[in-house]
C-alpha cells in the first residue's frame, strides 16, 4: 500500500525536506516535514506531507482537507516540497496544530482526481477507502495510534462524508467553516451538503465557525441550525481581512485568528475540551 518515491529499496524511501526549503516557510516553522506517496489498494498514487514538531513523538494524526478545489498536487521537486493552495487556512496554520501529541498530514486528492476531485468522488465509498489506506499507512509507518479528519470550507464535504462512511477507521472529525448552503446551477459544488445530517456519523465531531463568516455557502446561522447537539467553537474577530468573501484571507478563513483556532482544535482532539467562544481576548 505504501510506496516511497526515490532511490534505494523498492518499497520505501522517506524524503525529509528542511522547513526552510519547503513552500510557505511560515506555515511550517518549527516543523520537520516529509513527502510520501501512498500507493492505494486500487493501484493509484496519493501524495501526502507529514509534519511533526522537532523532537516530538506524537501519536495522533490530523488529516487536513483544504478548501476548494482541494487539489494540492503535492510534489517533491529536487528536494523541495511544492503544492497548491498554500494560503488555505488549514495549510498556512498547520504549525499551530502540531504539538507533542498531534501531527498533521496534508492529504492530496489521488492523482487520478487531479482534474476535478469533485462532489461525486468526495461522497463516494471510494474516497473513504482511499483515506482508510492513508490512515493504515500512518499507523503502520508513522506511529499513529489515532486519526482525525479536519476539513475547511469545501474540504468539509470530505470531512463530513468521511465521518459518516469511515466508522471505526477514524477517531473523530473537525469541520471548520462548514459547507451548508451550496449554490445551485450546473457548475455548483458541494451540493450534497444541502440538508446534510451529521448525526449519521458514529464518531465524535466538532464544528468551528466564525460568527461573521461572509461566505454565502458557509453561513454561521446555518451551522447553528443544523449541528443539533454537536459541539461548536464560535470565533470572533479578524485581522486585515482581504479578498473575496469565500476566500482564505477573510473571516471565512479565520484570518488573524489562526493560532487560537488551531489550539482549540488541538485541545478538543486531545481532551475533548471545547472552547465555546474564541474572542479577541483569547
Set out the domains of the chain in order of their start, with CATH numbers: 2-278 (3.40.50.1820)
Block residue for cell numbers 483569547? 282
| Residue 64: C-alpha distances to residues 48, 104, 214, 242 (Å) | 10, 7, 23, 23
Give the model's pLDDT for residue 1: 53
CA of residue 147 relative to chain centroid, distance = 12
Distance, CA of 82 to CA of 250 (rounded, Å): 24
Give the model's pLDDT for residue 35: 97
Give the model's pLDDT for residue 168: 86
Give the model's pLDDT for residue 70: 96
Q: How is residue 112 written as a grid cell?
A: 487520478
Q: How is residue 87 written as a grid cell?
A: 494560503
220 and 212 Cβ atoms separated by less than 8 Å: yes
- Outline where the chain has alpha helix (H): 89-92, 119-122, 125-141, 155-165, 220-226, 258-271
64 and 158 Cβ atoms separated by less than 8 Å: no
Give the model's pLDDT for residue 278: 95
Strand partners, 33: 17, 51
Residue ranges in the chain modelled with pLDDT below 50: 2-24
Check residue 93 and report its DSSP letter. T
Q: How is residue 260 written as a grid cell?
A: 487560537
Global pTM reads 0.91
**Which positions ≥6 away from 89 have C-beta within 8 Å?**
67, 152, 153, 176, 177, 248, 253, 254, 258
**Strands 2-3 vs 232-235: parallel, antiparallel or unpaired:** unpaired
* Cis ω for the linkage preceding 88 (within 30 of 0): no
Give the model's pLDDT for residue 26: 79
Strand partners, 206: 174
Amino acid at each position: 500500500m505504501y510506496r516511497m518515491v526515490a532511490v534505494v529499496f523498492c518499497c520505501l524511501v522517506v524524503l525529509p525536506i528542511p522547513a526552510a526549503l519547503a513552500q510557505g516557510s511560515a506555515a511550517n516553522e518549527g516543523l520537520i516535514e516529509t513527502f510520501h506517496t501512498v500507493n492505494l489498494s486500487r493501484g493509484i498514487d496519493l501524495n501526502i506531507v507529514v509534519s511533526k514538531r522537532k523532537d516530538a513523538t506524537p501519536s495522533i494524526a490530523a488529516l487536513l482537507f483544504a478548501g476548494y478545489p482541494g487539489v494540492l498536487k503535492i510534489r517533491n521537486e529536487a528536494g523541495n516540497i511544492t503544492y497548491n493552495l498554500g494560503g488555505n487556512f488549514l495549510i498556512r496554520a498547520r504549525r499551530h496544530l502540531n504539538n507533542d501529541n498531534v501531527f498533521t498530514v496534508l492529504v492530496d486528492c489521488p492523482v487520478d482526481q487531479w482534474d476535478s476531485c469533485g462532489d461525486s468522488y468526495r461522497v463516494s465509498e471510494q474516497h473513504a477507502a482511499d483515506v482508510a489506506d492513508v490512515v493504515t499507512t500512518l499507523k503502520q509507518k508513522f506511529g499513529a495510534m489515532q486519526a482525525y479528519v479536519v476539513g475547511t470550507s469545501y474540504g468539509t464535504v470530505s470531512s463530513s462524508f468521511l465521518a459518516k462512511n469511515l466508522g471505526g477507521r477514524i477517531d473523530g472529525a473537525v469541520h471548520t467553516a462548514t459547507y451548508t448552503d451550496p449554490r445551485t446551477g450546473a457548475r455548483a459544488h458541494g451540493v450534497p451538503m444541502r440538508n446534510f445530517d451529521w448525526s449519521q456519523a458514529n464518531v465524535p465531531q466538532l464544528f468551528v465557525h466564525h460568527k461573521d463568516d461572509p461566505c454565502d455557502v458557509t453561513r454561521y446561522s446555518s451551522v447553528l441550525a443544523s449541528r443539533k447537539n454537536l459541539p461548536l467553537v464560535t470565533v470572533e474577530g479578524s485581522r486585515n481581512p482581504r479578498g473575496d468573501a469565500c476566500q482564505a484571507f477573510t473571516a471565512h478563513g479565520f484570518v488573524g485568528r489562526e493560532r487560537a483556532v488551531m489550539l482549540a482544535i488541538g485541545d478538543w482532539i486531545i481532551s475533548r475540551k471545547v472552547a465555546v467562544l474564541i474572542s479577541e481576548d483569547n
